A and B are shown apart, each in its own frame.
Chain A
């Protein structure tokens, strides 16, 4: 996805005079050509993440479209008040593009993990949150975001599904079934499909998770059963409130699966090992889904 990011934004800078890129060293080496062509619109502020967002807010106030990029904890968590005040409060739009996701760099440890990014942005209004599960989806979502004026968060990850699905607002029905509904967000689709291959459940897919497609979840729950499992590649239960709101007038149950909230996982190793530790590998997902939906077997 990072190659798509550099290629698409670099090319767009050449023909869209509104576009500007704001960096805090991360990936600056990937923008050297674009920076040479557009020194006033490719701005590397150094290791200064508060200025990263503040400058983006100022650029937007003059009518430019800033694309802001860093590793997720440095893009979203460190300058969170700047996101709240320099973007939302000023009514200044921006496209924030993070890399690293929840644990793409497990050897780097906790400092480089931000499984709470989407939950944090959920405390603010007006954000569109894309969690693509394939580089082609990422490319489509990025291209669609560049001409706008709105607030967009694009969460890049190195963990991808085998095949891309069409992008666009709303959740897609990947498979129908009767015992319940499993919503897979972004790169969780393939693990969910593996986990549910032998289960009679409906599977929904979201590459865009905010706004939350309440209507799609509701109709899937009505068509199957009002028992919903959310499988998200970031903090567990990030979308549970949204799912409950979508089903508020129905007797229903919701199980949120994702990165554990109750303890800081002090481990390095591989992303697969982190998946397993958080219950997000296919075997653990299958066990959780079967237990919740009271589906027997094996």
Chain B
């Protein structure tokens, strides 16, 4: 069994602004400015069984960042949890840095997929969950993070339908909803997942306890969708 990363490096939520500042150069960085930060923190601090000492443990949980855009929060959390040396954050986007504007699984320890092009993470997560199931590794969860606008990609709808109908209970999709989709989903995003056979919760994406409760409400024969609402994206 993999061990939790909680407390491994001694870094906590309050250390994240400083880690973000290494990348942004902004001394007064607010966690609220990054839409995915709280979800990522709760996942890595309380939910995922992953271990920076054994990033390839076959029985680890998998976290797939499908929304590869704006990965500063991801890198900050990975650094806080011991997957990255915080000193590495300062060089991000440089030619010889492992950290780019979209993460690359081949370069960054603990990163499960290379992402940036939208609509790839959820089908990959479904395949990962099905692959683990076929090998009897039923103790591992597969969690994929997507954005609400990213849900427009048809590839996600293909995977949502298959996952729902096959009852892939180890699969969780977290939708960080900052209301950036131009068209949206009648009845809400959670309703769309429910119709496809998923269990779904819509919660405040800044509320750590609410996120924790929603993320732990898994079902044996139903995938789980957690819609994490955050402040609407500000368009220029």
Contacts and interface: CB of A to CB of B under 8 A. Distances in A.
Contacts of A43: 130
Interface stretch (B36-44, B109-117, B174-182, B198-206): B109-117
Contact of B123 (A40, A46, A60, A86): A86
B112 A61 contact: yes
Interface string B134-174: 11010000000000000000110011011000000000000
Contact of B124 (A41, A45, A54): A54
B129 interface: yes
Contacts of B159: 48, 51, 54-55
B177 to A, nearest CB: 22
Contact of A46 (B129, B154, B161): B161
B162 A46 contact: yes
A85 B123 contact: no
Given A51-B155, A54-B123, A90 B114 contact: yes
Given A46-B162, A90-B105, A58 B130 contact: yes
Nearest to B140: A62
B58 A63 contact: yes
Interface in A16-68: 17, 20, 40-41, 43, 45-46, 48, 50-51, 53-64, 66
Contact of A59 (B112, B122, B131, B158): B131
A54 B131 contact: no
Given A45-B162, A48-B161, A51-B158, A81 B117 contact: yes
B120 interface: yes
Contact of A64 (B105, B106, B120, B131): B131
B128 interface: yes
A51 to B, nearest CB: 4
Given A51-B159, A85-B117, A85-B120, A62 B154 contact: no
Contact of A54 (B105, B114, B120, B133): B120
B20 interface: no
A61 B128 contact: yes
Interface residues of A, number: 30
Contact of B127 (A40, A56, A89): A56
Interface in A60-89: 60-64, 66, 81-82, 85-86, 89
A54 B58 contact: no
Contacts of B106: 91
Given A85-B120, A89-B114, A90-B105, A48 B158 contact: yes
Interface in A77-114: 81-82, 85-86, 89-91
B225 interface: no
Contacts of B114: 85, 89-90
Contacts of B130: 40, 43, 55, 58-59
Contacts of B117: 81, 85
Nearest to B105: A90
Interface in B82-96: none
Contacts of A60: 127, 131
Question: Which of A58, A60, A61, A64 has most chain B Cβ within 10 Å?
Answer: A58
B65 interface: no
Contacts of B126: 51, 54-55, 58
Interface string B97-114: 000000001100000111
Interface of B: 58, 105-106, 112-114, 117, 119-120, 122-135, 137, 154-155, 158-159, 161-162
13 contacts: A40-B134, A45-B158, A48-B159, A50-B123, A51-B158, A55-B123, A58-B124, A58-B125, A58-B129, A58-B130, A59-B130, A62-B135, A82-B123
A-B pairs, top 4 by smallest CB distance, nearest first, are A58-B127, A54-B123, A62-B131, A55-B127
